[in-house]
Chains A and B, each alone.
Chain A
Amino acid sequence: MAQEKTFAQIESRYFWLLAALGALVVGAGLYSAYFMESHGHVVTGMNNHVVWGMPHVFAIFMIVAASGVLNVASVGSVFGKHVYKARAPLAGLLSIALLAGGLTVLMLDLGRPDRIIVALTNYNPTSMFAWNALLYSGLFTTVALYLWTLMEKRMNPWSKPMGFVVFGWRIILTTGTGLIFAFLVARQAYASAILPPMFIVLSFAWGLAVFLIVQSAMFSWNELKLNPAIQQRMKNLLGVFIVGSLYLVAAYHLTNLYFARESAFEHFILVSGGIYPALFWGGYVVVGSALPLLLIFTPGMGKGIHVLAASLLTLAGAFALLYVFIIGGEAFPLDIFPGYQVISSSFGDGQVASYAPSLPEIVLGTGGLAIAFMITIAGVRALNFLPHDDPKAVHQD
């Protein structure tokens, strides 16, 4: 019977306390957006050189993770693994929650968020942003339909085809996220065809890390214990995704290093750029990849607490990598005059742009995370999203 208990039934007080905390952070985020809109972006650390700051780091993290968390559902519906199928509803809910949080941050960081209707009614087919608007709304729709096929018994036969649709859609969506940068022809950090596959593999790791954290919290609140065999498989999968991410990030930098025109940029990002190499090596490589791999694969480790720590560190690494990729990529000066050195310019030509994240930006981004959190806890309370494991199913896969 313990298996049948839901989060809602356990402790109503928990829910309202968590909801109140979440609402507080969402409120702070919304106030930050209002503050930024009424004063202008002058109150942020962003400027004419680093035009996308912390809000984009948060938003892109959430959008990429929203796609990646669906991997759990795909392994179930597309590849027919029962253990993952039981987790598909929770993965779907997390995807919708993260996407909603990410898009809210992205929208509220616009210079004119009041003109969102303009964005919806004027469509430029050559813009990756415009395509992404379609891909995002499509993901909401397909995941909602997928959840319906999973949770409504009569619709169950449709869950496999819908699983395929969602699988295809999210791969295209993350390709689109990578292409936002890959299409930037003149920036040394971007304009690379490896970015879409890199974002797809990063999404696998980040999405699964988010899933494992939420699953761990839900099981602990419900006083349930995760089957060690399931734990083992999921943590191994996270390990594989972390290694895959490292491989693609390495391939991106190695190809850049081979091109003479990119060597100054790579030197900046990997060696001389101050905060950026520190975050890349310390944040992404050591804290966000090496430590989680140790926690997962060291003999004697890989238990619940280790996997939770590995997942949290993976997310810390995700933020570090995105900070380096987005802000470091913008901070490095454009090569407008190849063969020349800039002696003076009133607009910072030839100089590394400075950027210091401001409080409103961080609070807005955190507000987005809180939106994802609120949707998750409300969904879990209202509907049966808790994974129900059939002990026999573990051995069927």
Chain B
Amino acid sequence: MSDINHGRRQFLAQGSALAAGIAIAPGMLLFDFAHARPAGVPASSAVRWGMLIDTTQCESGCDACVTACRKENGWPEPKTAQDVQWIRKVEIKQISTGKQINLPMMCQHCAEPPCVDVCPTAASFKRADGIVLVDKHRCIGCRYCMMACPYQARSFVHEPVVDHSSEMPRGQGTVESCTLCVDRVDRGEQPACVESCAKEGHKALVFGDLNNPNSEISQRIRSVASIKLREDLGLDTAFSFVGL
């Protein structure tokens, strides 16, 4: 009897746990992933979007992130130094050890962005959630932000723009850079580069909320050694790199 009772208790306990899991998990999942903001609600400083780039997972010769960004935001394939590049692949070698590293470079979305400080018209601005953007209606094309950016992250539109993406209008004579796919983020999606990297199976890019200690990015930053580029400048970038 006691055996039967034990089995029944075990069944009830496991069943309850399963039922509770089924009931709570979607809520938990929604809590974790659904960051979509309803229209009209401003970005909140409770969130700080950031990215962790695991260079050990970044494949040499793969430019899926660059292609995805171009497709998403409608900038043409670069051919000259006058063409815009919101994101680029860079291959570097450690001088002391010869270790080779691949990584994507783009706007680092600094907490203290020099581009925002120097912009005379406040066209360069930082949203409450840390995303650094250019208001293309306010940019006068002085290029002071390009002089100020330590990461060469910004490009100037040197030619008339013919093919616009409906979600990311661009304009000749203004400056632009990575927006962290702000429109996708506002819809609760991941930036195009992150999604494409995962699709390729590399998972070198982790995007998420740096303010949420339970987010994957926060947990990874806590558990793996990472650095920010030019940390000496004290700009507190939202991007961290593993393997540098």
**Chain A interfacial positions (CB closer than 8 Å to B):** 37, 39-42, 46-49, 51-52, 110-113, 115-116, 118-119, 122-124, 126-130, 133, 180, 183-187, 330, 334-350, 353-354
> In the complex, A330→B81 CA distance in Å?
14
User: B230 an interface residue at 8 Å Cβ cutoff?
Assistant: yes
Is A345 a contact partner of B90 (Cβ separation < 8 A)? Answer: yes
Which 4 residue pairs spanning A and B have beta carbons closest together?
Answer: A111-B141, A111-B173, A186-B150, A129-B120
Is B105 a contact partner of A336 (Cβ separation < 8 A)? Answer: yes
Inter-chain contacts of B93 with A (CB < 8 A): 340-341, 343
Is B91 a contact partner of A342 (Cβ separation < 8 A)? Answer: yes
Is B120 a contact partner of A187 (Cβ separation < 8 A)? Answer: no
Question: A330 and B147 in contact (CB under 8 A), knowing A41-B173, A119-B121, A186-B233?
Answer: yes
Checking A47, A111, A122, A345 against B175 with a beta-carbon cut-off of 8 angstroms, the contacting residue is A111
Question: A339 and B96 in contact (CB under 8 A), knowing A41-B173, A124-B120, A186-B114?
Answer: yes
User: B201 an interface residue at 8 Å Cβ cutoff?
Assistant: no
Checking A41, A51, A122, A350 against B121 with a beta-carbon cut-off of 8 angstroms, the contacting residue is A122
B80 to chain A, nearest CB (A): 7
Is B142 a contact partner of A110 (Cβ separation < 8 A)? Answer: yes
Is B156 a contact partner of A111 (Cβ separation < 8 A)? Answer: yes
Inter-chain contacts of A180 with B (CB < 8 A): 144
Checking A48, A185, A350 against B81 with a beta-carbon cut-off of 8 angstroms, the contacting residue is A48
B105 to chain A, nearest CB (A): 7
- Interface pick from B16-24, B157-165, B182-190: B157-165
> In the complex, A187→B147 CA distance in Å?
8
Inter-chain contacts of B159 with A (CB < 8 A): 39-40, 42
Checking B96, B137, B155 against A48 with a beta-carbon cut-off of 8 angstroms, the contacting residue is B155
Question: A130 and B85 in contact (CB under 8 A), knowing A186-B114, A339-B95?
Answer: no
Is A334 a contact partner of B92 (Cβ separation < 8 A)? Answer: no
Is B147 a contact partner of A133 (Cβ separation < 8 A)? Answer: no
Inter-chain contacts of B122 with A (CB < 8 A): 122-124, 127
Of the listed residues A111, A118, A180, the one surrounded by the most CB atoms of chain B closer than 10 A to its CB is A111
Question: A347 and B85 in contact (CB under 8 A), knowing A40-B158, A52-B147, A111-B156?
Answer: yes
Is A48 a contact partner of B88 (Cβ separation < 8 A)? Answer: no
Which B residues from 43 to 82 make CB contacts under 8 A with A? 78, 80-82
User: B118 an interface residue at 8 Å Cβ cutoff?
Assistant: yes
Q: Can you list 27 residue pairs at the A/B interface with Cβ under 8 Å? A: A40-B157, A40-B158, A40-B160, A41-B156, A46-B158, A47-B81, A49-B81, A111-B140, A111-B175, A112-B140, A115-B140, A116-B140, A118-B137, A126-B118, A129-B120, A130-B120, A185-B114, A186-B148, A334-B150, A334-B151, A334-B152, A336-B229, A341-B95, A343-B92, A347-B85, A347-B88, A347-B90
Is A51 a contact partner of B140 (Cβ separation < 8 A)? Answer: no
Is A48 a contact partner of B140 (Cβ separation < 8 A)? Answer: no
Contact digits for B104-147, partner A, Cβ 8 Å, 1 yes 0 no: 01000000001011111111000000000000011111111011
Inter-chain contacts of A112 with B (CB < 8 A): 139-141, 171, 173-174
Is B173 a contact partner of A345 (Cβ separation < 8 A)? Answer: no
Question: A42 and B88 in contact (CB under 8 A), knowing A110-B173, A111-B173, A112-B173?
Answer: no
User: B206 an interface residue at 8 Å Cβ cutoff?
Assistant: no
Checking A47, A127, A185 against B120 with a beta-carbon cut-off of 8 angstroms, the contacting residue is A127
> In the complex, A133→B144 CA distance in Å?
14
Of the listed residues B121, B150, B159, B230, the one surrounded by the most CB atoms of chain A closer than 10 A to its CB is B121
> In the complex, A350→B244 CA distance in Å?
17
User: B149 an interface residue at 8 Å Cβ cutoff?
Assistant: yes
Closest to B98 in A: A341
Is B140 a contact partner of A336 (Cβ separation < 8 A)? Answer: no
User: B100 an interface residue at 8 Å Cβ cutoff?
Assistant: yes
> In the complex, A184→B174 CA distance in Å?
20
**11 additional contacts (CB under 8 A) given A51-B146, A115-B138, A118-B121:** A49-B152, A52-B143, A111-B140, A122-B123, A123-B120, A123-B122, A126-B116, A184-B147, A184-B148, A185-B233, A349-B88
Is A111 a contact partner of B85 (Cβ separation < 8 A)? Answer: no
> In the complex, A46→B149 CA distance in Å?
17
Closest to B89 in A: A346
Inter-chain contacts of B149 with A (CB < 8 A): 186
Inter-chain contacts of A126 with B (CB < 8 A): 116-118
